[in-house]
Chain A
Amino acid sequence: MEKKDSRYAMEDSNLWYETYASDQTQHSSEALSSDSDKKFKLIGKHIKRIDGKKIVTGKAPFTQDIKLKGMLIGKILRSPHAKAEVLSIKLDVAKSLSGVKAAILMIRGNIQYAGQMVAAVAAVDEKTADKALELIKVEYKPMPFVVIEEKAREEGSPQVHDKRPNVEQRRGYSRGDVEAGFGKADVVIERTYKTAVEIHQTAETHVSIAKWQGERLTIWDSTQAIHSVRDQLAEVLQIPASRIKVIKQYMGGGFGSKLGLNEQTVAASMLAKETNRPVKVMLTRKANSLCVGNRPSTFQTYKGGVKKDGTITALSLLSHTSGGIRGGDRSSEPMIDVHKCENAKVEDYNIYMNTGPSKPTRAPGLVQGTFGLEGFIEELANEIGMDPLEFRKKNYTTKNRGGTGIPYSSKGLDKAYEIGAKQIGWHKRNKVPGEGKGRIRRGIGMAAGIWWGAGSPGTLADVKLHPDGSVEAVCGTQDIGCGTRTHMAIVTAETLGLEPKDITVKLGNSDYPWAPLSGGSLTTPSVAPALRDAALKAAEHLKGMAASKLKVSASSIVCENFTFQEKGNPKNATPFKEVLGDLSHEIVFHGERKGLPEGYAYNTFGAHFAEVEVDTMTGMIKVIKVVAVHDSGRIINKLTAESQVIGGITQGLSTALFEQRIMDNETGRMVNPNLRDYKIATSMDIPEIVPLFVDSVDPRINILGTKGLGEPPRIPASAVIANSVYNAIGIHIREIPMTPDKVLQALKEKEVAR
């Protein structure tokens, strides 16, 4: 796993993330025994966050809040040019300013995008650091650049990378014979869908604090991946990973932009080394818009063949994607997997341009691909006059690769269709898209989604018992805001017959047992089973100790209500604390998230349904209601799971209606690197959201039967709005964000065509 993490630091494509998220190489030969028949008291219920009060009352220390004694403030100077040769940099004047403790170079080679790091300073306060930045003299020789996808694709446009063409073919995909498939179809259509570059926009901008103590380095970092930051930083600084400790307790969002090492951590570490004092580097909102990643844009052309009975005979996708100076996203996964189809083909290209490097953004590729594919599915269904829900049911498959691969270990998408359709009132939709009358048109649509989210085999967690009766749950995972702390407490408390508040949870420290980065919807299906394993071992040990007290065999003892008691005879019980009191010293139980049985595909699924209103005079789309039904296996905490879904839909709506990075062709700069001009949804834009779960437990994925949920609610959330708009006005807006200008233009074209 470490290997893959560091691969990311060197390679320039988001593919590593997909490999990580879908990793199923560490298989175990024996099937896992699942707890599928268990009746739980805590797991699956609505449990409040154990740290909720601390967070909402401002008492939880976020990385930005941390102040160390003697700490300096680091700041980064960035290039205003999209491409330039750096002829000279003069740091002397900045260095000689009173209060400035260090000024260092942070660039090798040419400037590749506007916002790229050039130099860094550390000073006694923010004001002085700011002044120092102004005193650094950089002489640039501007070079030709390209920042617009269409222009980067043109013949003779300025070349972004020396050894690569601006349009570069990526890994493709093929099965069956698409041409033969199209030949068998009654209808063949081709449509192109576009998605804009999206910025992560975390509430807490990126921030790192570095402190050296001799050869040892401690990093406080707002990160989704404490272990990756440690390993990648060790590589960059050329020191052993064993000498680095990375800490992250509370964080204001990452969405992929905080996966692994970021440049401000390197800058803080170097400045701290140079000054021999702790250094904090916090990025501005503008820097956050330019250089910590983004969701690549896509241009997806689908061609599909369908028979009159609804059989899909072939699907092909020609995709172009741009992640700026890095590779883009693979948007073909939904097309390859979700619906039954024997013949499929993907051709995929990167477009390079002089804009900030991409990074995985909550469901990389799948958000874009689902917008494209699920839109196309609606249009195919419409071509043959079939209800799009019936069309999806007709092409349902329980094997991956569109029915040509291995069986899914569990797939509750059919149930999600059923529950969602009922909840939204599917029958109320326009039978013919756009058949409604009047200025305001209503429509109902749906979209399906797939993701991985099986978790990482090899994840470790400990349960520590103390003679005073207290219990620790320890794991080197990180709570990125989704409630990991609470689920760790729930699993441990459930297994030991305690309450979540009785568990002291320790996480967010790279000295703790290994857990994967928090991305790819990995955390819960990695950490919860590992902790369950450790807690079961602890319970086993304690039952052995309680057996003599209760005068029954250990196997007939259960942990419940803070006691060990004889199964079926709760009166024969001994308090939990008393049993622990017999321990002569603390004792630790190690748990592990075991491998995945071979021969199955492990995926999560979801279906969203929405109702929207379109004002045909202004082009404004108003989302009235979204129903989301997810199959993520067993839900550990219903409350935080619902929050996760609401958050995913909020972001998906924002992407569908508002969000886009806007680049200026002439200056090479982003014109909207702030939250005024880069529009995200406000509370006034959020509709009624109904988060629901398919009540299923995967029989073999892990001992809790749980799957991930981080990405899934984000995946169909943009597509479902486009499909609902289609149902409302009879025009498919094939480009997100669906801003009023695009809707008005589409309505105008329809009017003209009439």
Chain B
Amino acid sequence: MKEFKIAQPKSLDQVTSLLSQKNTDYALMAGGTDLLDEIKNKIIAPEVVIDLKSVPDLSTIKMDKTHVSIDAMTCVADLAENPIIRENFPVLVEAALSLASPQLRNVGTVGGNLCQRPRCWYYRDPDTICRKKGGSRCFALRGRNRYHAIFGGGMCYIVHPSDLAPALISLDAEITINGLEGKKNILRLEDFFTLPQNNVRKENVLEARQVLSEIRIPLPKNGSKSTYYKFKERGTWDFAVVSAAISGVISGGVFRDIKIVCGGLAPIPWRLKKAEDFIKGKNLTEEVIKQGAKEALTDARPLEENTYKMGLVEAVLYTAISSMI
């Protein structure tokens, strides 16, 4: 492990001024549950680690007339227990409680969860220099790929590990990014994530010298329902093999509006638009739901060892949607 300095800023302004120091290789640390692992395992070697936990008042959840805002440093356990969140966004509570373990949820943060790096075992092997680490190829493509992407691959076949991201995208969340000199940039969370073909080294558009500070979710419309179903291989402490966050408006037994965002399928949280289009407005029978999944799966490009994820997409959609009606 390379030694690093730790910076403990006391305000977001101090964070951005630290970021403005040129020629310094830094890493932002939120909960640190994975960042420290990455450093210890020699995947990254920053010179300075900026500890965001030292900034006060970055973990509040508030509600106004139109939105709920969540500070990026809110820990996952607090998110899951917050009455505003529990009242309005079941999908987010379910996603929060499905991730990692109670110990990790006590430390891991919402912002950190959205910005976490992939768990691809080639990326995580210090002796393998894959494309994501500046190498020339993706080892998963013809290697061991049972947990890898069936959508959106090509350059790189990681799957995005976040459980909160699909849930938040399904809720039309937007995020605030703070940059240098007090600049603030607001964008849809869905636009935050980016495919390997755009930049294989990154999973999102957060630039150097920027920090994610806040997540805002519009309050639900009447008749809104949402749920998160995560299929993982064991009872706890496991990433999604396939997960689905579903939010929408149901009336008369049909979705008037629906958003389906999956985890475990692609390098970014993956929207199943074809499934949404197919299911919207139809009576929610097993056939309709599964056909919706099949429509979406026409775009899937599974690898040698992960074809089984296709069947799981159907199972996950069916399970999630049938729990909502």
Contact = CB atoms under 8 A, between A and B. Distances in A.
A complexed with B = yes
Interface of A: 80, 127, 130, 615, 617-620, 657-658, 662-667, 669, 671-672, 674, 676-677, 679, 681-685, 739-741, 744-745, 748
Nearest to B42: A134
A672 B125 CA distance: 9
Interface in B272-325: 305, 308, 311-312, 314-316, 318-319
B139 interface: yes
A620 B231 CA distance: 9
A663 B125 CA distance: 13
A134 to B, nearest CB: 9
A49 to B, nearest CB: 26
B235 A682 contact: yes
14 contacts: A615-B315, A618-B312, A618-B319, A657-B234, A658-B234, A664-B122, A664-B144, A671-B143, A682-B234, A682-B237, A684-B234, A684-B235, A685-B235, A745-B308
* Chain B contact surface mostly: loop
A619 B308 contact: yes
A80 B42 CA distance: 14
B105 to A, nearest CB: 14
Given A620-B231, A657-B234, 4 more contacts: A667-B127, A679-B238, A682-B234, A748-B311
B99 to A, nearest CB: 13
Interface of B: 1, 3, 119, 121-122, 124-125, 127-128, 139, 142-144, 146, 231, 233-238, 241, 305, 308, 311-312, 314-316, 318-319
Given A664-B143, A744-B311, A669 B127 contact: yes
Given A619-B308, A741-B308, A745-B308, A666 B142 contact: yes
A744 B308 contact: yes
Contact of A740 (B121, B125, B235, B308): B308
Contact of A662 (B124, B144, B236, B318): B144
Given A669-B125, A669-B127, A744-B311, A682 B143 contact: no
A26 to B, nearest CB: 45
Contacts of A676: 119
Contacts of A663: 144
Contacts of A683: 235-236
A685 B237 CA distance: 11
Contacts of A658: 233-234
Contacts of A744: 308, 311-312
B142 to A, nearest CB: 7
Nearest to A618: B315
A672 B146 CA distance: 12
Contacts of A740: 231, 233, 241, 308, 312
A739 B233 contact: yes
A667 B319 contact: no
A617 B143 contact: no
A75 to B, nearest CB: 12
A438 to B, nearest CB: 12
Contacts of B231: 618, 620, 740
Given A681-B234, A682-B236, A682-B237, A80 B143 contact: no
B139 A666 contact: yes
A618 B125 CA distance: 30
Nearest to B34: A676
A667 B129 CA distance: 11
Contact of A741 (B143, B146, B318, B319): B146
A739 B234 CA distance: 10
Contacts of A620: 231, 233
B300 to A, nearest CB: 15
A118 to B, nearest CB: 13
Contacts of B305: 741
Contacts of A667: 125, 127-128, 139, 143
Nearest to B235: A684
A751 B308 CA distance: 15
A456 B144 CA distance: 45
A685 B234 CA distance: 7
Nearest to B308: A741
Nearest to A78: B127
A685 to B, nearest CB: 4
B146 to A, nearest CB: 7
Contacts of B146: 741
Contacts of B319: 617-618
A399 to B, nearest CB: 42
Contacts of B3: 127
B234 A80 contact: no
B192 to A, nearest CB: 25
A721 to B, nearest CB: 14
Contacts of B318: 617
A8 B53 CA distance: 53
Contacts of A669: 125, 127-128
A710 B128 CA distance: 40
A672 B121 contact: yes
B234 A671 contact: no
Nearest to A79: B127
Contacts of A665: 143
A675 to B, nearest CB: 9
A131 to B, nearest CB: 9
B118 to A, nearest CB: 12
A657 to B, nearest CB: 8
A665 B139 CA distance: 10
Which among B1, B235, B237, B308 has the highest number of chain A CB atoms within 10 Å? B308
Contacts of A657: 234
A80 B319 CA distance: 43
A704 to B, nearest CB: 40
A617 B119 CA distance: 26
Nearest to A114: B127
A663 B122 CA distance: 11
B311 A671 contact: no
B121 A677 contact: yes
